[in-house]
Structure 1
Amino acid sequence: MGALLVVSYVNGADARAVDAQNPVTAYVVKKVVPAGTTLADAQSQGLIKATKVAQTGRPAGVLSVVDASNRTLVATTDIQPGEFVMSARFGAKQAGEKAIAVPDGKVAISVQLTAPERVANFITPGSHIVVYATAGIKSAGTDEKAKAFNQLDVKGTNVLLADVEVIAFGSTPLQNPSADNSSDNADKKSSNDGSSQNDSAYLVTVSVTPNESVKLVHSVNQYTLYAGLLGSGTKVDPQGEIDDGNVFGGNSVLGNGTLAGAK
């Protein structure tokens, strides 16, 4: 009886904690939703289930209601258990094996990220993410002061893209376009994708503007990228930056140098 009382109290505490955070409805996947399954069938068969989450923690684009406006839509691809049900995962028809819907005026760019860099498995098609870029900061000067600064190997991180939509997600790794096995290329690959032969990397395909696509492609090839999952209504400062000099409250060193490789 004592154990039952403890369990009852803990469950009640969890419920009270959620109630205190302005809970909102969000659907999650309980069992695999096969491609082609209607939203109504997914709900009636118990493949998806409505739950309550804190408003600040609900991802942008998550499904919050099943009604006459969307019940006939079908899953465009298989949806795995544990995922939030994103509205973008359902459409008028099942997507073909190689189909990808790129919004008008946008460019689809794929980025290879390992599990931590893609927020574990919580980034899915329809998610909105922020992309960060980390690189070395180098002084453009040639005097002794500049040389001393460059020897410090200072790193800085900037917001590269403040809000972009994920339109596809897969496990096929990017192929190395260069056959050069030099140590420089090996070091570059290690720093860019953060992966090894034992570390699973995934392709996250995002929809960006033509101008953003140039920034993203350059950064994929030059810097270390990291993604963050945006909550509903979250706004990230596109000018956000941090470096080794001010990460713990000191003075920024970005004024002394530029990102390594930047032109």
Structure 2
Amino acid sequence: MNRRILSAIAAGVLAVLGAVLLVSYVNNADSRAMANMDPIEVLVVSALIPQGTPSDEIAESVTTQRLPRAAVGPDAVRSLAEVSGRVAATDLQPGEQLLGGRFVTLQSLERFGGIPVPEGYHSVTISLSAPQIVGGTITPGDTVGVFITVGDGTTRLILRKILVTRVQGGLGATQPNEGVENPDAAPVPDGGAMITMALTTDQSLTVVHAAKFSNIWLSLEDATVPQDGTPKVDMRNFS
């Protein structure tokens, strides 16, 4: 083997060795740089997660990635256990970090989004205080009775079995905290709410007029509530 061939072989070996050393240096540099960025492992969406998907059904749609702490969003999810029992509040797109704030209880999602309005019905919204809506506990899907009190002091039940399709507001996040006198007490209503109901044309006219000129109270109706008559009471009943 002549000297020229030996030189070519040596040059090739040196080139390969140089490439290996360069790759190793770059990888180590990346590792050192990442270490200096205080990386943490977070969950990242790898496939579309539709709104309303329960957290216990998204394991195959997320992956774990190490990201610099400075690049991690607020309330980043590191384990699906952190959002257990909740559902996606909106569509989650591939590539975005999984954030706890994007998960809510199913009830919260229903309260915001509501339920479909039956065909042929109007959607009518009225604003009421918490005591007028059973302490803020009315939710979409409930059926309510509609009571009104007019200027002459007469109160009557004007509508029954009215379907509630959407609630905005109502029972808020004011919950009994640890250390209070009765931690098992019911949550405290956080202000009033806007209640949307499915109504026929005649019922819509009645509710809109009552909202403008009367006081309205809603009741949650049990399935066994009698449906006969439209009872009323006025000041004479108390004299």
TM-score category by the smaller chain? 0.3 to 0.5
Greater radius of gyration (CA): 2
Normalising by structure 1, what TM-score?
Answer: 0.42
